């Protein structure tokens, strides 16, 4: 039986307490009930139904083709396998372009099982974040490399390497916290920038390709198991080193994050 936050599962309050105590929490992007259950048994605290499913499951070269119907289908699957992790869902490309769309789509994702919705963007999602937070929908803001903007950025590149862009990311992260964001996710930014942001913000900061100084880490389950067609610098195949099967590989990822052993220097950007 799936356990949601209120019934003994992981809550945002618990993540905040872990941050204050200096503990690390572990997140994993999964797309179905089977992997959700195995991840929970391995100790994963936050499950993300990511729009990375467009690339990982559907074989597209970006996340742009992913629809709300796709997200709702996979959210329902993951909810059925969830055994107490906090459940987060991505709002896909153009699903939060207007206020009306944002409210309808975020509500649909919450009804399908999400407990937090994740939106990509900086200052421009501040009003959207407030709109959702005021209506009881927790928001995780996703900054740094935002894959839905791959065409504007011109590729999947590290963000925030120059001083002025780094300063903007810091200021926009603060604005999003003030606007009611409950979590921040930083993707592919230099270690020093992620460290500054995690130290400055009160809300928990999750990193991917952002070094070991964030409060939580996230990976895509296919990367943990080494079955993705591409292997960016910031991922590690934990199945290659695991003694047992898939649950042991995910448990090794959890242990490495908790102990501060992952990400190691070779997975980081400067
Ligand atoms: O879509 C996704 O899975 C994500 C993670 C890679 C952070 O956004």
Tell me which H or E stretch contains 206.
Answer: strand 205-208
Decide: helix, strand or coil at residue 196: helix
- With 0-12 / 13-18 / 19 or more C-beta atoms within 10 angstroms meaning exposed / middle / buried, residue 212 is buried
| Residue tagged active-site, from 120, 187, 199, 202 | 187
- Res 204: pLDDT: 98
Give the residue from 108, 132, 136 showing the smallest Cα distance to 119: 132
- Res 229: pLDDT: 80
- pLDDT means per 10 residues, the chain with 270 residues, are 59 98 98 98 98 96 98 98 98 98 98 98 98 98 98 95 97 98 98 98 98 98 92 94 92 97 95
DSSP annotation of 193 reads: H
Asked if residue 213 has its Cβ within 6 Å of ligand 1, the reply is: no
Q: Ligand 1 pocket: which of 49, 50, 235 to mutate (most atoms <8 Å of CB)?
A: 50
Active site residue 187: yes
pTM of the predicted protein model:
0.96
- Res 7: pLDDT: 56
Residue nearest to atom 2 of ligand 1 (CA): 50
Distance 8 CA to ligand 1 centre (A): 26
- Res 66: pLDDT: 98
- Res 1: pLDDT: 39
> What number does the ligand 1 atom closest to the CA of 63 have?
1
Residue nearest to atom 4 of ligand 1 (CA): 50
Distance 52 CA to ligand 1 centre (A): 5
> What number does the ligand 1 atom closest to the CA of 118 have?
8
């Amino acid at each position: 039986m799936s356990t949601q936050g209120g019934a003994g599962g992981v809550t945002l309050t618990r993540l905040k307490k872990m941050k204050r105590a200096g503990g690390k929490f572990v997140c994993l992007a999964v797309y179905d009930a089977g992997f959700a259950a195995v991840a929970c048994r391995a100790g994963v605290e936050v499950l993300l139904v990511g729009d990375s499913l467009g690339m990982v499951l559907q074989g597209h070269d970006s996340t742009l083709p992913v629809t709300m119907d796709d997200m709702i289908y996979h959210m329902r699957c993951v909810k059925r396998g969830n055994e107490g992790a906090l459940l987060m869902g991505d709002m896909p490309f153009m699903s939060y372009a207007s206020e009306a769309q944002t409210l309808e789509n975020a509500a649909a994702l919450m009804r399908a099982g999400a407990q937090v919705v994740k939106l990509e963007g900086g200052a421009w999602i501040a009003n959207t974040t407030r709109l959702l937070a005021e209506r009881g929908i927790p928001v995780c803001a996703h900054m740094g490399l935002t894959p839905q903007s791959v065409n504007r950025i011109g590729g999947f590149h590290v963000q925030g390497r120059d001083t002025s862009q780094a300063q903007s990311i810091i200021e926009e992260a603060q604005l999003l916290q003030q606007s009611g964001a409950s979590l921040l996710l930083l993707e592919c930014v230099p270690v020093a920038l992620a460290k500054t942001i995690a130290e400055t913000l009160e809300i928990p900061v999750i990193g991917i390709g952002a070094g070991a100084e964030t409060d939580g880490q996230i990976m895509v389950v296919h990367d943990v198991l080494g079955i993705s067609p591409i292997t960016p610098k910031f991922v590690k195949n934990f199945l290659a080193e695991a003694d047992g099967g898939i649950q042991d590989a995910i448990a090794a990822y959890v242990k490495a994050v908790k102990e501060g052993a992952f990400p190691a220097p070779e997975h980081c950007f400067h």
